Structure 1
Amino acid sequence: MAGTLPASEAAAAAPQRVTVDLAASEGPVMRGANGTLYGLSDDGVPSDAALAPLKITSISQKPEGGAQHPNGDALTVSRSFFRNGGGEINVMMQDVYAKWPYEDLGIDDYLPRVDKIVKEVAADPNSERFVYIPFNEPDQIWYGLGTSDQAQYEANRDRFFKDWKTVYRRIRAADPDARIAGPNESAYHTRLLTDFLAFAQRENVLPQVMTWHELGSGSLRDFQGHHDTYRSIERGLGIAPLKINIDEYANRRDLSVPGQLAQWVAMFERNKVYANQAYWDAAGNLDGNVVRSNIPNGGWWFFRWYAGLTGDTVRVTPPRANAIDTLQGLASYDTQRRQAQVLLGGSAGDSDVVVRNVSRSVFGGTVTATVAEAAWSGYEGRHAAPRVLARTKVQVAADGSVSVPLRGMHKMSAYRIVLTPGGSGTPATPVVPWTGSYEAEDAAITGGQVYTQGTVDNANGYAASGTKDVGSLNTAASKVDFTVTVPKTGTYDLAVLYGNQSGTPATQKLSVDNRDTVTVTYPSTENWTYRAKKDLAVELTAGTHVLTLGKGDAEVTLDRVDLTARTSAEPSASYEATLADLDGKPSFDYSSSAGVGTGALVLRAGDQAVFDVYAPRDGYFTVVPQASAAVRLGLHGETVTAAPGQPLRLYLVAGNNRLRVTAQQSAIRSLDVSGAGSTAGTLSYEGASATLAGGARLVDSTYASAGSYIGDLGNSASSTAEFTVDAPKAGRHVLVVHYAHNDRRDNGHAYNTDIMSRTADITVGGAAPVRATFKNTWGWHDYWTLSVPVELEKGSNKVTFANASGWAPDIDRIELGRIVG
């Protein structure tokens, strides 16, 4: 099953059917649809741990020093992109200009800018991994190629073609091996592409990469036709198939939403084209899929699943092809790993996934089917490791098929099905807690207003659960009463999807049945509809209750609340070894399906498995390798030996942590992680304890943890903050900086929020300074954390923050935790 479906989403119809044919290969998994436009803003934003697992094939960024945005420079972000396994970088050359649409100063003004961009890119040691995009949306900008007046179109077209030829040859003159992409229309135009390809072929200025944009909801219906028509134009002209990059796709209502992303990714991967999600809001969060700098949301987990597909993709037949907002999917089949994976989403209700041609020589007579859900958690709502909903052994039918039922699917969620050989034994039944979801628009509203968001007709509206939220809760009497019914007495985790554009942390009053009122504090968000998630706990007796969220000190927008029964004292998750990222040549052992895990991964010398482990906060967690022999765990630059089945106390940072596992010889089934992030044994120092110099000062603030923070730090070589840290033991530690800043630049863009990062040089003892990048926190009084691994000596250590060339962030406090606790 897929979970409990609210009555408002229940489908009365018979289950939809999705068919997967393992015998119908579409070619090797390409992962082309995981790209982003301005998904990286700085070296370190997003973090390496958030970036590396996604195996991103292409990104689009501005030229170095381009005026269009304050950050996202291609050469700057290339450092983190390439060290984390990134593919190639599209350079949006016209983003050298400041205005949107670009100021049209003529081709003679543009050419010297082109020369500078090419010179800088060509000199980069990774120049072969850059692609030049000379023009952006020429159908709308500078050239007006979308006009319906044929005579005007031809005049505009000829001017564009002349400039294309000029710029193309200018690029090639400076960089003979340059790869050039275009024409890069804002939407697909058969008329223009037919003329363009004929011209480019005739004049020997054919792009190496064909680009255009697919942004509206209609693309989910029309892209296949666009693709097929384009390929027919190529064939008609005798042009060998060019690489295609849909370098802007999807709209606000799609980004961060696993169920929407599944539809887009399925059609791009099926056609083996590359594609980059569009940049509608803030740079540096992979277009809405990373919270802060290192924390996954539901969209991140969907792309992590996508990155985990191996082998070939195979044909998936959905209930309706080429339709808007329907159940769609993609699947992979790896005979070497003996795995089949199916990713799907986009529809509520029930479905049956029928996998055909399940080879008995690969899987045996039974398979273990593992089903997990990646839910929508908002653009800025953290999402723990996807919950496993079912793990069952299924008999392969006489016709070679396996049927996996999904019941109570949620429209905004994506689902993953993994098939592995059944082996002997019985898989452990996952614990699936009771959960209930309650839409704010369906609750009793006082002093507020229901708004419609992110529909098919308003695709550039922000995503909202049920396409509605409740805002304008701005009077003293404003409140929303949620009537909830829970099955038993106990502790329930309450998740509130909200927006807070007040500029500071905002509060509401939470009460249960008009009693036990507590204050809920919501960190700032980009705007009222850029959804985040607040997690807290409530005690409820079995039966019906009214949960009230009433106005506190500022306005907050409410979308939905979720209640989940707490099943254990501490959260826990098991990460299957056979689904980890692998290096070397480990083997797979599916002889037993008993317990947790989809089999065992056999590691030998030279092999490595990398697990992506989620932590809800910075602190200590219990990590247990379920292995047959000792393994070595690598974390934050520290390596420790772990005995099989024995717990380790390790310091994890908030969000994603990459744990590397090696062994001389060991069969590992899973890495089990539990805990809430204990701070026992950590070192903590308030800003007031630091020695300040050169203008850095202590500033009073009710929002800071101890009533003050370090401000005016940096912007000169003499401005520093020095903490004295007393370490009981020497060794590798994680330095956690609690910081805030809200630097941004307003270019007058219609939609982009040009937030800026700050940096600080951190020096520990006599070690070389380490430059850390601190993303904008949406408010001057919203404190986030950034973690930096450091080495401490036993006893006194000096930890100094500085920035000689710019402002450092405001610092509330620091914490340090030894990696092995």
Structure 2
Amino acid sequence: MRRQTTAVLSAAALAVAALLVPAGPATAAGNTLTVDVGTVVRPVTHVAAGGLYAVGSDSRPTTDQLLPLSVNGFTQPPPGTTHLGNGATQPCCDALSVAGNITRAGGQQLIRMPDIYPTFPYRWAGWPDWEQKVRTMVRARLAATTTTNIMGWELWNEPDWTWETAAAGSFHDGWTRTFRLVRSLDPVTPIVGPSWSWYDPARMRAFLTHARDTGTVPDVIVWHELGDMGWNDFAAHVADYRALERSLGISPRQISINEYNSLRQMDIPSVALHWMAVLERHGARDAHRAYWFEAGTFNGLFTTSGRPTASYWAYRWYGDMAGNIVRNVPQSWLDGVASYDSTRRIVNVVLGGDSGNNAVRLTGLGAFGSSVRVTVSSTPGTGRGTAVAAPTVLSSSTVPVTNGSVTVPVNGMTAEGVYQVLVTPAAGPTTSWQQVYEAENATVVNAATRTSSAASNGAYVGGIDGVADMRSHSFVDFVVNVPTARSYTMAVRYANGTGATSTHGLAYNGGAFSTVSYAPTAGWAQFATANVTVQLRAGYNVIRLAKGAPSFGGGVGYAELDSITLR
């Protein structure tokens, strides 16, 4: 978390200053982003669709504003926070007070423990004070028995410059002491860290060595990426971290970048796109837009009055992605993220970073027929102070497919703007609205994504086993979008290798649970279909299939989930 210790500039002034830092060269053109539709990188999980202090209350942004963004993870202050970030006059948005909003939108969150303190840098008041604060925070969370979306305790924030070694002792020893205290109170919730303000190989090696030797290795590794054009370094940071794990004999951890983007570039849409690209490409679990300004605006995706900005539309296009992230090869400053939803035959490419006349070349379109429909849209390079009601459609045309490929010109680009290239068969998507939702694309809580050639998209969710309490309940939340309010038949594609009928709880939009029964299948990852009826409202709905969840006594036996289909 970055807070200015000098006079706070207005958001508008900072937006103008940000635009003076170019996302790419002043003049560049003739570059091509190559998208290989046939090469899968990973399932779509919207890695970069998160934020630090991004949710300001149970209604800011509203759940309806969050749902189209396909949110992933957030970092929020702890229960009982007294923190006054970025000139705020009142503490806000502790994890428990915003939990309902985030859950309704399909998201999870980390709790940043040191934000119990009012100021930043934090003012250390001694070990008895800190340990009492830790006990208070953990007990408050444990008392929130219906809150299921806490995915980790962040023990400290940017200790490389906020930890007072002279008063508190070494950070390594402080980490161990705090880790053991939290574990004694809550042995279930993951612990994440060390949350350095930037990645330093020597510092990370020293920390991991100490953590390994004391049995306090974080469940999820966190660091921050906050430099101008820092996306250029992310691949090297991940590679170095993975090498450290191997050399120290530490099993692979998921990586969370719970602050990304710099102060000067925060409001440049194409810079956010660069971050999306590398975060997807190099294997982050989740990543959160940095908190440089006011809380509750999703860090500039909305104006302070709640209207969408230019950056919002870049994230909205990203949020629309379904199926798999597919391989793309950048050129010069031109980069992007691309997805392929094979059930609807939609390729969604979001790109930016260069100016002038450039192009997108798509290969692997053999299943689309002899021609495709291509729509090119743009969102401008304006910042957080300017509302943008909608993106601009630049062109829509039918293009012949040659040897399974097409090249789409994207002319008149600006280096700060972001562009979308949407490709479907010439007659349009195979269905007018999305009907198939893959479990591996959904919000997966206390379960695991696995791969199988028998799965409908090459992956499924297993290990949906937990029933003990709100920290270990296992479920999958599907965020679906339907055209009309009515009853729908929902086909659940599942596997049940127990040899007997098993069950899950089914609930939608926070309503009462019913039961879905799964007859035995030929084995695990051997799929069959169970049909149920659901009554959905027009627009977005959240459908939960659970082994264990609040207000549900727990399912019988076990089942794996591949997908749901609505008809």
**CA distance in 1 between partners of 2:34 and 2:168 (Å):** 45
Q: Which runs of 5 or more residues in structure 2 are unaligned?
A: 1-21, 85-90, 439-481, 491-536, 542-567
Write out per-residue CA displacement over residues 243-290 of structure 1, whole angstroms, 9 at most, x where no aligned residue: 111111112333333212111111111123111111111111000111
Are the counterparts in 2 of residues 114 and 171 from structure 1 also a CA contact under 8 Å?
Answer: yes
Amino acid in structure 2 at the alignment position of 1:66:
T
Q: Does 1:301 align with 2:313?
A: yes
User: CA 1:238–1:605 in structure 2 vs 1: closer, same or farther (change >3 Å)?
Assistant: same
For 2:83, which of 68, 73, 77 is the aligned residue?
68
Per the TM alignment, residue 12 of structure 1 is displaced from its structure 2 partner at its CA by 7.0
Alignment of 1:756-775 (within 5 A): none
Are the counterparts in 2 of residues 583 and 607 from structure 1 also a CA contact under 8 Å?
Answer: no
User: CA 1:79–1:577 in structure 2 vs 1: closer, same or farther (change >3 Å)?
Assistant: farther
User: CA 1:230–1:158 in structure 2 vs 1: closer, same or farther (change >3 Å)?
Assistant: farther
TM (normalized to structure 2)?
0.69
Partner of 1:259, secondary structure, is helix
**CA distance in 2 between partners of 1:260 and 1:389 (Å):** 21
For 2:154, which of 115, 133, 153 is the aligned residue?
133
Per the TM alignment, residue 205 of structure 1 is displaced from its structure 2 partner at its CA by 1.1
Write out per-residue CA displacement over residues 315-357 of structure 1, whole angstroms, 9 at most, x where no aligned residue: 111113xxxxx22111111211211111111221111111112
Q: Does 1:118 align with 2:138?
A: yes
**CA distance in 2 between partners of 1:120 and 1:606 (Å):** 39
**CA distance in 2 between partners of 1:92 and 1:13 (Å):** 42
Per the TM alignment, residue 293 of structure 1 is displaced from its structure 2 partner at its CA by 5.0
User: CA 1:577–1:121 in structure 2 vs 1: closer, same or farther (change >3 Å)?
Assistant: farther
For 1:261, which of 263, 272, 277 is the aligned residue?
272
User: CA 1:308–1:584 in structure 2 vs 1: closer, same or farther (change >3 Å)?
Assistant: closer
Per the TM alignment, residue 227 of structure 1 is displaced from its structure 2 partner at its CA by 1.0
Per the TM alignment, residue 108 of structure 1 is displaced from its structure 2 partner at its CA by 2.7
**CA distance in 2 between partners of 1:295 and 1:91 (Å):** 27
**CA distance in 2 between partners of 1:391 and 1:231 (Å):** 44
Q: Does 1:285 align with 2:297?
A: yes
**CA distance in 1 between partners of 2:540 and 2:202 (Å):** 54
Per the TM alignment, residue 14 of structure 1 is displaced from its structure 2 partner at its CA by 5.1
Q: RMSD value over aligned CA atoms?
A: 2.9
Alignment of 1:44-63 (within 5 A): 44-63=59-78
Partner of 1:136, secondary structure, is coil
Higher relative contact order structure (alpha carbons within 8 Å, sequence separation ≥ 6): 2
**CA distance in 2 between partners of 1:605 and 1:28 (Å):** 29
Alignment of 1:327-726 (within 5 A): 327-358=334-365, 360=366, 362-398=367-403, 400-423=404-427, 606=488, 660=539
For 2:245, which of 204, 225, 234 is the aligned residue?
234
Amino acid in structure 2 at the alignment position of 1:291:
T
Are the counterparts in 2 of residues 256 and 297 from structure 1 also a CA contact under 8 Å?
Answer: no
In structure 2, the residue matched to 1:30 is 45
The sequence identity of aligned pairs, in percent, is 34
In structure 1, the residue matched to 2:217 is 206
Per the TM alignment, residue 302 of structure 1 is displaced from its structure 2 partner at its CA by 1.1
Moved over 4 A (4+): 8-14, 155-158, 576-585, 601-605
Per the TM alignment, residue 376 of structure 1 is displaced from its structure 2 partner at its CA by 3.1
Write out per-residue CA displacement over residues 541-587 of structure 1, whole angstroms, 9 at most, x where no aligned residue: xxxxxxxxxxxxxxxxxxxxxxxxxxxxxxxxxxx9968666789xx
Amino acid in structure 2 at the alignment position of 1:184:
S
Q: Does 1:19 align with 2:24?
A: no
Per the TM alignment, residue 369 of structure 1 is displaced from its structure 2 partner at its CA by 1.0
User: CA 1:659–1:304 in structure 2 vs 1: closer, same or farther (change >3 Å)?
Assistant: farther
**CA distance in 1 between partners of 2:66 and 2:433 (Å):** 16
Partner of 2:162, secondary structure, is coil
Per the TM alignment, residue 109 of structure 1 is displaced from its structure 2 partner at its CA by 1.9
Are the counterparts in 1 of residues 52 and 259 from structure 2 also a CA contact under 8 Å?
Answer: yes
**CA distance in 1 between partners of 2:43 and 2:176 (Å):** 35
In structure 2, the residue matched to 1:84 is 105
Q: How many residues align?
A: 421
**CA distance in 2 between partners of 1:661 and 1:275 (Å):** 24
- Bigger proportion of residues as strand: 1
Are the counterparts in 1 of residues 29 and 356 from structure 2 also a CA contact under 8 Å?
Answer: no
Write out per-residue CA displacement over residues 682-734 of structure 1, whole angstroms, 9 at most, x where no aligned residue: xxxxxxxxxxxxxxxxxxxxxxxxxxxxxxxxxxxxxxxxxxxxxxxxxxxxx
Write out per-residue CA displacement over residues 386-411 of structure 1, whole angstroms, 9 at most, x where no aligned residue: 1211111111112x211000110012
Amino acid in structure 2 at the alignment position of 1:161:
H
Per the TM alignment, residue 34 of structure 1 is displaced from its structure 2 partner at its CA by 1.1
**CA distance in 1 between partners of 2:437 and 2:218 (Å):** 37
User: CA 1:158–1:202 in structure 2 vs 1: closer, same or farther (change >3 Å)?
Assistant: farther
**CA distance in 2 between partners of 1:33 and 1:298 (Å):** 17
Per the TM alignment, residue 661 of structure 1 is displaced from its structure 2 partner at its CA by 9.3
Instruction: Indicate the structure (1 or 2) with the bigger Cα radius of gyration.
Output: 1
TM (normalized to structure 1)?
0.49
For 2:173, which of 152, 162, 167 is the aligned residue?
162
User: CA 1:578–1:35 in structure 2 vs 1: closer, same or farther (change >3 Å)?
Assistant: farther
Per the TM alignment, residue 11 of structure 1 is displaced from its structure 2 partner at its CA by 7.8
User: CA 1:215–1:661 in structure 2 vs 1: closer, same or farther (change >3 Å)?
Assistant: closer
Amino acid in structure 2 at the alignment position of 1:109:
D
Amino acid in structure 2 at the alignment position of 1:59:
F
User: CA 1:46–1:13 in structure 2 vs 1: closer, same or farther (change >3 Å)?
Assistant: closer
In structure 1, the residue matched to 2:199 is 188
**CA distance in 1 between partners of 2:126 and 2:29 (Å):** 60
In structure 1, the residue matched to 2:227 is 216
Per the TM alignment, residue 209 of structure 1 is displaced from its structure 2 partner at its CA by 1.0
Are the counterparts in 2 of residues 46 and 293 from structure 1 also a CA contact under 8 Å?
Answer: no
Amino acid in structure 1 at the alignment position of 2:334:
L
Amino acid in structure 1 at the alignment position of 2:392:
R
**CA distance in 2 between partners of 1:418 and 1:256 (Å):** 24
**CA distance in 2 between partners of 1:26 and 1:660 (Å):** 29
Are the counterparts in 1 of residues 259 and 289 from structure 2 also a CA contact under 8 Å?
Answer: yes
Per the TM alignment, residue 59 of structure 1 is displaced from its structure 2 partner at its CA by 0.8
Amino acid in structure 2 at the alignment position of 1:180:
I
